[in-house]
């Protein structure tokens, strides 16, 4: 794939229609604008405009002390509300050389995996809804409640769990609560086969998702795609496997691709469903391992908050924190200077930021009716990616010509149509 073919600026030929979708549209769950160029029913070009939920979070974060930044990071996204704190705490701990006690590492991983279960089930429900299969949506979201309830029982909150803090975790998972977790795991284990049957062995789901919204292996790598979006294309990339951290370093974790389901990776929407459902099973195993092998000990290596703040203020250096969120790699970079409470630099990278470009080859050559399910297939988390509030002043966006892309996209259309 060359550079010309994936510019975000595209326009079709003279017979093309331009159809804007978003920033507010029933097919989208979050504000983002697509401008599609259509040749009949076929998509021949797409211009993507994110930023409608830009809130200036990094700008704000660089103006307050690190503990406050942690609260802010937790509120970047309501679904990944532990992914950002996990990446931020690791970045700061790496920069400041702070150790995390083993028990805290296990608790962080348990909450992280519970979040993956509820996020993937949320996505599966949205996917079913986009296909017009609302019975399945209701079933999926009903079973998702179990993980939300468990999160509430373990942390006190359904979202924004406030578990990680620099140097450890804020709350223990006591042994007397472990049975709640085991109960939820058994519940999901019993359901998983039914879910796989309902999604992957259903003729209409298969017809609507097989070979729709394809992201090839090479495109996934060239466009730096992450998470289930990349893994559905057969890219065996998962931070938990590639560069283990926290309790994940004690486990044999393997990136899940459609091969684990016994099919060749195509990178279409169907493969996205396979990967996410199998990852729910993987998360169940991880949580079980963590519960069984959780070491005893302290929760924070610097338990007193004033001492922690003082240690952070003294710290000098830079650090990278990465976490495999439900949607892919979350990346935080911080640079700390001695004597300054605020992070001098804080850069947040959410998974949808990387997967944004992956939308373009996925949309090309597909039909208008497939737009909602393809848009949903990368499990976009727009508020994560935008991070700042943005005002549209009603200016007409200019759409520029990229004949090369049109040519390539038409070639692809012909290829698909045979």
| Whole-angstrom distance, CA of residue 286 vs CA of residue 212 | 31
Q: In this structure, how many other beta carbons lie within 10 angstroms of the beta carbon of residue 404?
A: 14
Phi, psi at residue 219, to the nearest 5°?
Answer: -65, -40
Q: Report if residue 349 touches another protein, rule: CB under 8 A.
A: yes
| Piece in contact with another protein (CB under 8 A), picked from 53-61, 169-177, 202-210, 267-275 | 53-61
- Minimum distance of another protein from residue 149's CB (angstroms): 29
| Whole-angstrom distance, CA of residue 46 vs CA of residue 48 | 6
CA-based nearest residue to 325, from 350, 291, 348:
350
- Minimum distance of another protein from residue 393's CB (angstroms): 6
DSSP string, 158-206: SS----EETTEESS---HHHHHHHHHHHHHHHHHHHHHHHHHHS-HHHH
Minimum CB distance to another protein smaller for 123 or for 331: 331
| Whole-angstrom distance, CA of residue 328 vs CA of residue 238 | 8
Q: Which of 98, 107, 114, 223 binds another protein (CB under 8 A)?
A: 223
- Minimum distance of another protein from residue 188's CB (angstroms): 25
> H or E element: which one contains 228?
helix 227-231
Q: Which of 7, 65, 211, 216 binds another protein (CB under 8 A)?
A: 7
Q: Which of 24, 207, 243, 401 binds another protein (CB under 8 A)?
A: 243
CA-based nearest residue to 152, from 201, 70, 81:
81
Minimum CB distance to another protein smaller for 246 or for 281: 246
Q: Report if residue 387 touches another protein, rule: CB under 8 A.
A: yes
- Minimum distance of another protein from residue 395's CB (angstroms): 6
**What is the contact mask toward another protein in residues 280 to 319, using x (rule: CB under 8 A)?**
---------------x------------------------
- Minimum distance of another protein from residue 299's CB (angstroms): 14
Q: Report if residue 1 touches another protein, rule: CB under 8 A.
A: yes
| Whole-angstrom distance, CA of residue 209 vs CA of residue 41 | 17
Terminal Cα distance for the chain, rounded: 21
Minimum CB distance to another protein smaller for 54 or for 407: 54
- Minimum distance of another protein from residue 315's CB (angstroms): 14
Q: Report if residue 331 touches another protein, rule: CB under 8 A.
A: yes
CA-based nearest residue to 245, from 72, 81, 93, 73:
93
> H or E element: which one contains 44?
strand 42-49
| Whole-angstrom distance, CA of residue 325 vs CA of residue 413 | 34
Instruction: Give the interface with another protein as residue ranges (CB under 8 A).
Output: 1-9, 49-51, 54, 56, 58-59, 94, 102, 105-106, 221-226, 236-237, 239, 241-247, 249-250, 252-255, 295, 320, 322, 329, 331, 333, 335, 344-345, 347, 349, 353-354, 356-357, 386-393, 395, 397, 402
């Amino acid at each position: 794939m060359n550079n010309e073919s994936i510019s975000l600026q595209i326009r079709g030929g003279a017979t093309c229609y331009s159809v804007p979708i978003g920033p507010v549209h029933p097919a989208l769950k979050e504000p983002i604008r697509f401008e599609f160029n259509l040749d009949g029913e076929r998509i021949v070009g797409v211009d993507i405009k994110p930023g409608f939920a830009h809130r200036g979070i990094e700008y704000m974060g660089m103006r307050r002390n690190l503990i406050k930044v942690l609260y802010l990071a937790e509120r970047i996204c309501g679904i990944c509300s532990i992914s950002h704190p996990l990446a931020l705490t690791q970045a700061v701990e790496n920069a400041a050389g702070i150790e995390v006690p083993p028990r805290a590492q296990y608790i962080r991983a348990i909450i992280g995996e519970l979040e993956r279960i509820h996020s993937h089930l949320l996505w599966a429900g949205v996917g079913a809804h986009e296909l017009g299969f609302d019975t399945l949506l209701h079933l999926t979201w009903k079973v998702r409640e179990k993980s939300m309830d468990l999160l509430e029982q373990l942390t006190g909150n359904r979202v924004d769990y406030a578990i990680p803090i620099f140097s450890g975790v804020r709350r223990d998972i006591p042994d007397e609560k472990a049975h709640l977790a085991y109960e939820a795991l058994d519940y999901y284990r019993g359901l998983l086969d039914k879910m796989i049957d309902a999604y992957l062995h259903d003729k209409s789901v298969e017809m609507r998702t097989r070979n729709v919204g394809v992201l090839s292996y090479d495109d996934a790598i060239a466009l730096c795609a992450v998470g289930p979006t990349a893994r559905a294309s057969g890219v065996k990339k998962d931070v938990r496997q590639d560069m283990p951290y926290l309790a994940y370093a004690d486990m044999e974790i393997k990136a899940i691709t459609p091969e684990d389901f016994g099919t060749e990776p195509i990178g279409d929407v169907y493969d996205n469903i396979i990967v996410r459902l199998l990852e729910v099973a993987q998360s169940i195993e991880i949580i079980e391992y963590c519960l069984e092998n959780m070491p005893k000990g302290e929760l924070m290596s610097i338990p007193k908050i004033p001492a922690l703040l003082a240690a952070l203020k003294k710290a000098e250096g830079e650090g990278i924190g990465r976490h495999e969120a439900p949607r892919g790699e979350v990346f935080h970079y911080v640079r700390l200077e001695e004597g300054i409470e605020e992070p001098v630099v804080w850069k947040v990278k959410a998974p949808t930021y990387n997967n944004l470009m992956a939308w373009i080859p996925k949309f090309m050559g597909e039909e208008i009716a497939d737009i909602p399910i393809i848009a949903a297939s990368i499990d976009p988390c727009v508020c994560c990616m935008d991070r700042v509030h943005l005002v549209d002043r009603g200016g007409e966006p200019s759409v520029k010509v990229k004949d090369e892309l049109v040519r390539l996209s038409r070639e692809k259309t012909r290829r698909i149509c045979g």
